[in-house]
């Protein structure tokens, strides 16, 4: 496994990390046993960045990762545990309601995550989203107190604007910005946000680097999604959009076949080639997909390969927003 450094002051991590959300929620039926085996295999392969959040399964994903960490307590220093706070669930609907990034809530959320994970510190602690009514200086100021207390090692933000990032970084160094970035979603990162990150020495941790599974080539229709799969609510998987998007995936598959790899590997290798400061965190609960994804670090794409992959997915051709309307309102503040 190859490695990359997170930010100017952050830890060294595997070039590809592991998103753990799908082990508990969102993508079909959870499988605890296979998830634990997948985490075991990740450690064996040298995948060291594990990503979770208190919002994933209302804490259940942190608890799952925590059970794994307890089994590997002697190897705690080999992994970088990243988690996030700020999305609070509505008691009536069970879905995310408010975004709470107030200074009073920050230490409460952190201590709850520490308990669920069963660790004495969090390596990388993100604000999951930003409440625009709360000054980012207030949020990051409270997060920096966690660093001073030894409860957190490094700070991150997720889905914020370049202006917010600059204000935050002036309060305390930001190590990483987590944001959706893939062949399907490029304009969010490419441009001012990436320029700002590079100016300030901040890494980009790319979530959903496979377009929520679309770019794996495993889907042939919306009918392949389980009835409880959250992607049924996502615009790009809607009846009116999915076939247009799957046609783009076929174009990626065509390029991948010429290269001699899977569509997922081509998509991840394309991301890795965008800069040493970009770390994708594809999510999976299955060992076979973990191993397939990790093999992307061995690919050495030519400039022609990269250009063909980019042209295979013109951004204007991607059908549907990347989030439902309610979630879109929480982005980019």
- The structure tokens 């490695």 sit at 3
Which residue ranges make up each domain of the chain? 3-212+266-299
Q: Are 83 and 110 in contact (CB under 8 A)?
A: no
Question: Which pair of structure tokens corresponds to residue 219?
Answer: 């889907």
Q: Which of 27, 56, 105, 289 is catalytic?
A: 56
User: 228 exposed, middle or buried (CB, 10 Å; 0-12, 13-18, 19+)?
Assistant: exposed
Distances (CA, A) of 106 to 110, 139, 149, 206: 6, 7, 13, 24
**What is the reported pLDDT for 60?**
95
Distances (CA, A) of 103 to 106, 121, 145, 159: 5, 19, 10, 19
**What is the reported pLDDT for 329?**
86
pLDDT digits 0-9 by tens, 250-264: 999 999 999 999 999
pLDDT digits 0-9 by tens, 192-209: 999 999 999 999 999 999
% of the chain beyond a pLDDT of 70: 98
Residue 19 clears pLDDT 90, i.e. is over it: yes
Assigned CATH topology for domain 3-212+266-299: TIM Barrel (3.20.20)
Bigger pLDDT: 137 vs 232: 137
pLDDT digits 0-9 by tens, 152-182: 999 999 999 999 999 999 999 999 999 999 9
Residue 88 clears pLDDT 90, i.e. is over it: no
The residues facing 178 across adjacent strands are: 158, 205
**What is the reported pLDDT for 94?**
62
**What is the reported pLDDT for 326?**
86
Tell me if residue 56 is catalytic. Answer: yes
């Amino acid at each position: 496994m190859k490695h990359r450094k997170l930010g100017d002051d952050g830890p060294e991590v595997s070039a590809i990390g592991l998103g753990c959300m799908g082990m508990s929620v969102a993508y079909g039926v959870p499988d605890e046993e296979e998830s634990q085996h997948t985490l075991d295999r990740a450690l064996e392969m040298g995948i060291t960045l594990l990503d979770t959040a208190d919002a994933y399964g209302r804490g259940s994903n942190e608890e799952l990762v925590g059970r794994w960490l307890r089994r590997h307590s002697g190897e705690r220093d080999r992994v970088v545990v990243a988690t996030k706070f700020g999305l609070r669930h509505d008691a009536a609907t069970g879905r995310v309601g408010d975004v709470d990034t107030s200074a009073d809530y920050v230490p409460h959320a952190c201590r709850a995550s520490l308990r669920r994970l069963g660790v004495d510190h969090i390596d990388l602690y993100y604000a999951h989203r930003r409440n625009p009514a709360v000054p980012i200086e207030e949020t990051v100021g409270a997060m920096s107190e966690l660093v001073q207390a030894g409860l957190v090692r490094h700070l991150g933000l997720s889905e914020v604007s370049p202006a917010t990032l600059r204000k935050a970084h002036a309060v305390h160094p930001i190590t990483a910005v987590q944001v959706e970035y893939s062949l399907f979603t490029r304009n969010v990162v490419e441009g001012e946000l990436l320029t700002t990150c590079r100016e300030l020495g901040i890494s980009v941790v790319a979530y959903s680097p496979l377009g929520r599974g679309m770019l794996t080539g495993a889907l042939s229709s919306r009918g392949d999604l389980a009835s409880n799969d959250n992607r049924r609510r996502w615009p790009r998987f809607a009846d009116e959009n999915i076939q247009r998007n799957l046609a783009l995936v076929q174009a990626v598959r065509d390029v991948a076949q010429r290269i001699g790899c899977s569509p997922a590997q081509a998509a991840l290798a394309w991301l890795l080639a965008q800069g040493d400061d970009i770390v994708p965190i594809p999510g999976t609960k299955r060992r076979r997909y973990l191993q397939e994804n990790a093999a992307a670090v061995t690919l050495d794409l030519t400039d022609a390969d990269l250009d063909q992959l980019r042209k295979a997915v013109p951004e204007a051709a991607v059908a549907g927003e990347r989030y439902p309307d309610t979630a879109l309102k929480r982005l980019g503040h």
